[in-house]
Homo-oligomer: A and B are copies of this chain.
Amino acid sequence: MAVDPRFYPATGPHDLAHLAAVSGARAVGDEARRLRGVAPLGSAGPEDVSFIDNRRWLAALKASQAGAVVVPEALLASVPEGAAALVTAQPHLSFARIAELFHPKPLPKPGIHPTAVVAPDAQIGEGCEIGPYAVIGAGVRLGARCIIGPHAVIGDGCSFGDDCRLFAHSSANFCVAGHRVTLHQGARVGQEGFGFTLTPEGRYHTIPQLGRILLGDEVEVGANACIDRGAMDDTVIGPGTRLDNLVQIGHNVTTGRGCVLVSQVGISGSTTLGDYVTVAGQAGLAGHLKIGSKARIGAQAGVMADVPAGMDVMGSPSMPLRDSLRANSYLRKIGAHGAKPAPVHDGRARPEDTD
């Protein structure tokens, strides 16, 4: 099924040679062949470009009626007769560039909507698009070509670099952001963290949260995700890190570069992540932990202790991945067949038999 032109106007057609050029792929087939859009393997037609980057879709590739397919070298031989190929070491990236050619990301339409409320001393970079009912506070600095969507709110003193996008209903406060930062719809950045103390009278007294939220270049914050500003030091999200929807980041969390936090993950205050840490959906991390670079945390994991660099962990409480698989396998057998907990060797369970 082709991309809906009501939502995604298309450029083109473009010939195979041009697609090869923009995507960094090697064309195999008639370079003058004209293509009109992108589609998945299963629904593509002779004027569509598809891609494959994983053998598990091999059957779909062989059956596809796509006009051209972006493939890794190893799958070139499986491209159907009659289809052109675009051969590349990075099929997904090459395909992304082709999709962007057909359907370029919308450029800002420079201008400030008459309903936007913009403080007199806010500095708006050249070429910014400020949408209806956006509210931009005192002393805010926006770089060039930013797109601020309907109802977005940027609090006093915040600054954003160039080419940032704040989608509808997002809010940023106490925020210093780099270039090409994206807040998706309803994202909340820089609000007050969960810091309070119990008084002798049994009331909770808020601890003033006096830090900021720093967002590195190319950080993306998913829809309705929340990042609290720091208590005194800052909450810091490193360059390229991406948060999916409904993620929660507590005050004074810091991440390195390129971390991936999948939807509904929660990271408690003052935990630090290295670079390229992956945290799968719904996992939770306790506070004041150190998670080393390239660690991978499994879906729904409950991490209560530091995780060394490069380690995979899973489970709640989390364990090294292999241990977790063993423990799950054991429980699955218990579940399937039943058992009674065994006695110890000499027949008596003793209190010291457990940790």
Contacts and interface: CB of A to CB of B under 8 A. Distances in A.
Interface string A306-333: 0000000001110110111111111111
Interface in A218-276: 218, 222-224, 226, 228, 232-234, 240, 242, 244-246, 248, 250, 257-258, 260, 262-264, 266, 268, 276
A92 B334 contact: no
A340 B353 contact: yes
Interface stretch (A12-20, A73-81, A199-207): A199-207
A6 B202 CA distance: 34
A58 to B, nearest CB: 15
Interface stretch (A25-33, A122-130, A150-158): A150-158
A56 to B, nearest CB: 9
B135 A135 contact: no
Contact of A191 (B223, B300, B354): B223
A260 B196 CA distance: 10
B40 A233 contact: yes
Contacts of A317: 328, 332
A258 B199 CA distance: 11
Nearest to A48: B232
Interface residues of A, number: 129
Contacts of A246: 224, 226, 246, 248, 266
B194 A168 contact: no
A185 B193 CA distance: 12
A60 interface: no
A323 B335 contact: yes
Contacts of A133: 117, 133, 135, 151
A290 to B, nearest CB: 15
A224 B222 contact: no
B208 A105 contact: yes
Interface in A176-227: 184-186, 188, 191-192, 194, 196-200, 202-208, 210-212, 218, 222-224, 226
| 4 pairs of A and B residues whose beta carbons are closest in the complex | A323-B335, A342-B342, A327-B335, A92-B197
28 contacts: A3-B210, A6-B139, A40-B233, A93-B205, A96-B207, A105-B208, A135-B168, A151-B153, A151-B169, A153-B169, A169-B171, A169-B188, A185-B188, A194-B244, A194-B262, A194-B263, A204-B240, A223-B226, A245-B248, A266-B281, A281-B284, A284-B299, A286-B299, A300-B302, A315-B335, A338-B349, A339-B341, A340-B349
